[in-house]
A and B are shown apart, each in its own frame.
Chain A
Amino acid sequence: MKLLIVEDDRSLSRSINDYLKLEGHICEVALTLDDAMQKTSVNKYDCLILDIGLPDGNGLDLIREMKTRKLTGGILILSAKSSLDDKVVGLKIGADDYLTKPFHFAELSARINSIYRRNNFLGQNEITFNEIRIKTEDNQVYVNETLLILTKKEYDLLVFFMANTNRIITKESIVEHLWGDNVILTDSFDFVYTHVKNLRKKIVAARGKNYIKCIYGFGYKFIDT
């Protein structure tokens, strides 16, 4: 996937760049709105990761510009302002998703994948990992071509894992992904364990391999060892 990161904070944009490169994406970084305007007019990107508060203007202007020039490619808004207005306006004028700083890279990765799937494989949405195949348009999971019956949370968890294979995912980011910001106020993430356990059990029961590795005290890793 070819991505453009529009973020004025050098340190943050470099981190995003590094992480997404690890995921195997091709990334470019624009530090200003001007720079981003130029880059988008020359190159075609699969997805834009766009900060709204830029030193030389509002990121929302770039979205408007891209839409008037009918440029394709997904847009993920990144903002320090968790202001509802920005979010509503951004989504209205054509952004695909919205992420508030600070975020987990696992979450960023999952969102980018989801935007990419929606924009590029119309009607053909599938994620595969060895014997596991997910048909995302009708939320079905097959292991060795047997249909798994999963709860909503287990399904979301599996998709989240598949978007972040070979990475350590903290329990915290799982909770944030599955339950949203509100529950993050709780201090124990032990209840995540129950869901992971059930998911693992179901995959193994369908003669799938146990890919979910527990990193003690930290979280999990979805990995084929």
Chain B
Amino acid sequence: MKLLTKSTYYFLILSLLAMIAGGALLYLTIKKVIYKQIDNSLITEKSIIEDQIRQTDTIPDFEATFGHRIEVKLQNHAIRNYQSIKDTDVYDSKSDSFTSFRYIYSSGNSFQKKGYVITIFQEISEKNELLQDISLYMFFLFASLLLISILINYLIARRLWMPFYKSVQIAGRFDIQSDMPLDLPQTDIKEFNQLNSVFYEMTHKMRNDYLNLKEFSENAAHEIQTPLAVIRSKTDLLMQQKNLNKESLSLIKSINEANTKLFKLNQGLLLISKIENQAFHEKKIISLKQIVESSLENYMEILQLKNIKVEMDIRDEALVEMNDVLAEVLISNLLSNAVRFNVDNGFIRCHIDKTNLIVTNSGLAMTIDPELLFRRFHKGSDNPHSVGLGLSIVKKITDTYGMEIAYFCHDSEHEIQLRYRRKIH
């Protein structure tokens, strides 16, 4: 749940509770006031009548106040003093309905010890209507007050939290590889400024660590080249010595092979870090078709040796905009995989259209998860000559240019699909 929704939600519930309680309290108070007023007028009227009875011993000539109905009875003997005010419903035969009344019942004795009973009724349905009206207005008033305050609360909160959402959004777009500083919004709220400075420090540190690491791996890769050259030169020299026996030759051969593998590995890692460093930023319009054709020529000898049949299904020039060196690395990696992991008398099918380059080749069935192949040092075969970097280089290149690469394996048929955006001109 969004923070804004949550705070509005809590606000709504709490103010609703408060308003219900307040409304009920107000209703009761008003009702009490109205009843008090009715009772007072009943008592006043009763007192007037009572005074007259006491003085004259006769039922006075009176005129009822509006809405009052008065009944007076005289007795010849004394009765008990009593007074009560109550509600009652009186059946009205005319309208065949009950009407609510408040009435005072008072009995007492005059100076001549003659008893009297005064009952005064006041119709209260009118007063109830008034109460209802007041309640209704109150309800609307409360409701609109609630709505307005929710709206204001929402607007204020939204405005207050704006820098927060902006910061989060900007921090989310943080790219460790770009050297653009985070452009976080200025705010006069202390907490948000704290948050922003934490963001700044964190990203700054992350970027520094990343750069250090990158620099380290670049330097390491470069520095490794010279010792590798030394090893190769020494084995080359060793090899030329006279009277070497078979064992020594085979030892030199192993050293040479290991050295070559190390060299390839280093070259691959260097290439990956160069792609990451955007060392290949120059772009050209490239025809993938031409690169595929020229790359395949490099493999003619191996293809003949393994007797692999090549089928070309070319429907488009496949023009893309990318760096020419990377385009060649990309294609030659894909094709060299198709050649290396092929079987004798196998086939390679190359399909090129406007948006797809599909290389299918025969080979041995695969047992590992195809997705893992694109990771560094994951090998689909136990070939000791393979270093397991080819497809991760491919992935790096395709990521750089927003291309998609997918690998499928149906039994002994391997298919690698490259999807690209065609350069339209």
Residues of A within 8 A of B (CB): 9, 11-12, 15-16, 18-19, 22, 80-84, 100-106, 167-168, 170, 172, 179-188, 190-191, 194-195, 215, 217-218
Contacts and interface: CB of A to CB of B under 8 A. Distances in A.
Interface in B260-282: 260, 263-264, 267, 270, 279
Nearest to B279: A83
B64 interface: no
Contacts of B309: none
B237 A82 contact: no
B339 A186 contact: yes
23 contacts: A9-B229, A12-B229, A15-B236, A19-B236, A80-B223, A80-B225, A80-B229, A83-B279, A101-B226, A102-B230, A104-B232, A105-B237, A170-B256, A172-B256, A182-B295, A182-B328, A183-B299, A183-B302, A183-B336, A185-B333, A185-B340, A186-B339, A191-B301
Which size bracket describes the interface of B in this complex? 35 or more
A101 B221 CA distance: 12
Contacts of A179: 298
B240 to A, nearest CB: 6
Contacts, number: 108
Given A182-B298, A182-B332, A101 B228 contact: yes
Contacts of B267: 82, 181
Interface of B: 222-223, 225-226, 228-234, 236-237, 239-240, 249-250, 253, 256, 259-260, 263-264, 267, 270, 279, 295, 298-299, 301-302, 304-305, 325, 328, 332-333, 336, 339-340, 383, 385-386, 390
A87 to B, nearest CB: 12
A194 B302 CA distance: 10
B301 A81 contact: no
B234 A15 contact: yes
Contacts of A167: 240
A19 B340 contact: no
A181 B385 CA distance: 15
A135 B28 CA distance: 121
B236 A105 contact: yes
A168 B260 CA distance: 17
Q: Which 7 A-B pairs have the closest CB atoms?
A: A187-B385, A15-B233, A80-B225, A102-B229, A191-B301, A101-B229, A105-B236
B230 A12 contact: yes
Contacts of B231: 102
Nearest to A105: B236
A180 B325 CA distance: 14
